[in-house]
Amino acid sequence: MDDRIIKTEYSEVMQKSFIDYAMSVIIARALPDVRDGLKPVQRRTLYDMYELGIRYDRPYRKSARIVGDTMGKYHPHGDSSIYDALVVMTQDFKKGLPLIDGHGNFGNIEGDGAAAMRYTEARLEKITQEAFLADLDKDVVDFQPNFDETEKEPSVLPVKIPNLLINGSEGIAVGMATNIPPHNLTEVVNATKAYMQNENITTKELMRYVKGPDFPTGGIVVNKDDLLEIYETGMGKIKIRGKVEVEKTKGGHINLVITEIPYTMIGVNIGKFLMDVAALAETKKTQDIVDITNQSSKEGIRIVIELRKDTDVENFKNLLYKKTRLEDTFGVNMLAIANGRPETMGLKQVIKASVDFQFEVTTRKYKNLLEKELEKKEIQEGLIKACNVIDLIIEILRGSRDRNMAKACLVEGKTDGIKFKTKESKIMAAQLMFSEKQANAILEMRLYKLIGLELEALINEHEDTMANIYRYEDILARRDSMAQVIINELDAIKDAYGKKRRTEITNAEEAVYIEKKAEEMDIIFMMDRFGYARTIDMQTYERNKDTVISENKYAFQCKNTGKVCLFTNMGQLHTIKVSDIPFGKLRDKGVPIDNISNYDSSKESVIYVASQTDLNLYRMIFATKYAMLKVVDGGEFDVAKRTVAATKLADGDEVVSVVALKEQSNIILQSKDGFFLRFPIADIPEKKKGAIGVRGMKLGASDNLEEVYYTRNTDDTSIEYRGKTVELNKLKLGSRDSKGTKIRV
């Protein structure tokens, strides 16, 4: 038993196992092959449909049947991955060249998913049979065993076009990902022909044919000048915009109609776009929007934004480009499997790999065809020769005891045992030297072949065979001849399936949105104890002042163009633009401040809230759990950043109180253990916001500051402390950094 135990480092086993797993995902699942542009699941699905005979000119078959057969024979990775791949190959809004003809609900551009596979049906598209699966019977690609070695599957499909460019691809592997945009079939074919005619052609010259990506959803690529570098390196970012048209309504309003969307907006992102546009109106980013409707249908995209009469349309379009996904980025990473390994390739490299593959496939095809024609030639010549001596052949057949004796005579000239009518016949029979295949063909020949017209047809067929042999040998011997064959096939596919470009390629200036300055006015900020914030107008506040004060933890006047500042127990200052806070009615719920600031209610709590304008007018008093105090000029908190440190804290310390210093004279510190210390606020030094402050009270080992109170000398302020009334201004006036007086209860 011991001799079968292999001792090794655990880390080495894990490293090897992970690398094996990663390579399996990369090669066998996530990345396409540069030769046919297909991932394994796509290739297996198409091949299975081909094997099942689900052709374009035959009835549709249930998707569940296709998925089950593919999973059982070739792809044992779950039915959802196979069905998802099948669905995508039917969607003309995702693929520039759909490979499967779907019947039923296969989803739509707005993100609705396909029906269950038991409801939908599918069959191959015509182009898939003609350009992807043709010639599989001619030994043009290698076949490999399937997962359980009970079937054979092609390692790659004999695709006749650069499908990796035409349909693009996306996939996430382990440690790498691919994202290749689709291109126009006509342009890619023209570029391929140009490369075949001049292999030294540059990427820049190829781009005279391939202008750029051609997305099924159309749109506008606005960074044309960046495309050359992207196609040379295989990596980069393409900026795409939706296509927008302007319509005027009878009522004088302006309709902004989006007729084409960025490719990245396919699916749920259309709904997200509509929500983003609505949010622009809700948050008062713009007041130009009257209404927004999605009128998209099978005929195409139509999203209508109704605008006010005086809207600056160009400025509003720029707002959409800046604040929504109407302008988006497509990250290009042209990663594919080449020669068994992942490789990032540029435009020329992908076309070269496709052309090299075409020459390999075409060579194997015509070698196979040549072998069959040579075999036909041999048999035809034998039959023609036999027809010329048919009387002798019949004499041999009638004089032989069995087939083997007759065959031996035809092939080797053996006449022993055969009865001939004359010696001359025997001598002539001994001179017959047919090949094995010719002899078999003669022995199987039917008598009607001796009819004159049949013999003439045989001679004509032989002439055709000789012409084919000459043609095939020329194709195999001369690269130019083979190149012409490939070009002819490319032209035929282009003529049959080529379409006009959908996506416009141009250079456009960066969208610049000039925000209209809002008319400055006073409003009331409100925040309840749950952290929901909103603003209302002054008139509403004046009519409902008591309700506002009783129902909200914070309520104060501010400018609609200003900021609101939140001080937290962790010593942070979070600023919020008032314009980002919903403005509405008194009973509106508002929005959580977490959603409109960097404040995180799960990690910190709000200590004090004020408007930036008020902070600039006053000084601020800070008090912490360790009884550290300081006064800070409120102007120090007039900052541009959304979050800054409002004060410095020792480890474990946190802010207990922040208050604007207005008319207060005294500060009263109350510790957890019941000590009260009253002293003048004037004893607290003014510090910078980055300072830690000075000690305000001596605390016991387990004690800390619990509450802070502020009074004026003329006030009679009292509090309830553990059931006892404490008159704050009657407490003994002490000095800062003393222990204070303990209240007995």
Active-site positions read 119
Residue 393 phi, psi dihedral angles, 5° rounding: -60, -45
CA distances to 384, 389, 450 from 456, in Å: 10, 16, 10
Residues in a beta bridge with 563 = 577
Distance CA 502, CA 183 (A): 10
Torsion of CA 370, 376, 378, 381, to 10 degrees: -130
* Order of all β-strands in the sheet with 655-661: 655-661, 619-624, 628-633, 694-695
Q: How far is residue 331 CA from its own chain's centroid? A: 9
Each residue of 211-226: b (16+ CB within 10 Å) or e?
Answer: bbbbbbbbbbbbbbeb
* Cβ neighbours of residue 265 closer than 8 Å, sequence gap 6 or more: 217, 242, 273, 325, 326, 328
Residues in a beta bridge with 734 = none
Angle between helices 479-497 and 185-197 (to 10 degrees): 170
- What letter represents residue 498's amino acid? G
Residue 34 phi, psi dihedral angles, 5° rounding: -65, -25
Distance CA 504, CA 221 (A): 6
Residues in a beta bridge with 725 = 720
Distance CA 212, CA 505 (A): 7
**Segments of 118-176 assigned E as strands:** 121-124, 143-145, 152-154, 169-172
Each residue of 396-408: b (16+ CB within 10 Å) or e?
Answer: bbebbeeeebbbb
Q: Are 702 and 691 in contact (CB under 8 A)?
A: no
* Burial zone of 742 (CB within 10 Å; 0-12 exposed, 13-18 middle, 19+ buried): exposed
Tokens 């027809």 -> residue: 387
| DSSP characters over 718-742 | EEEETTEEEEGGGS-B--TTB--EE
CA distances to 232, 236, 564 from 344, in Å: 10, 12, 50
CA nearest to 39, candidates 50, 52, 25:
25
- What letter represents residue 546's amino acid? D
Angle between helices 313-323 and 268-282 (to 10 degrees): 120
Cα-Cα end-to-end distance for the chain: 79
Q: Are 592 and 527 in contact (CB under 8 A)?
A: no
Distance CA 65, CA 75 (A): 14
Residues in a beta bridge with 591 = 533
Q: Where are the alpha helices (DSSP H) in 200-303?
A: 203-206, 227-233, 268-282
Q: Are 71 and 127 in contact (CB under 8 A)?
A: no
CA distances to 101, 259, 307, 310, 442 from 313, in Å: 41, 16, 9, 9, 85
Count of positions (residues) in the chain: 745
- What letter represents residue 587's amino acid? R
Distance CA 618, CA 611 (A): 11
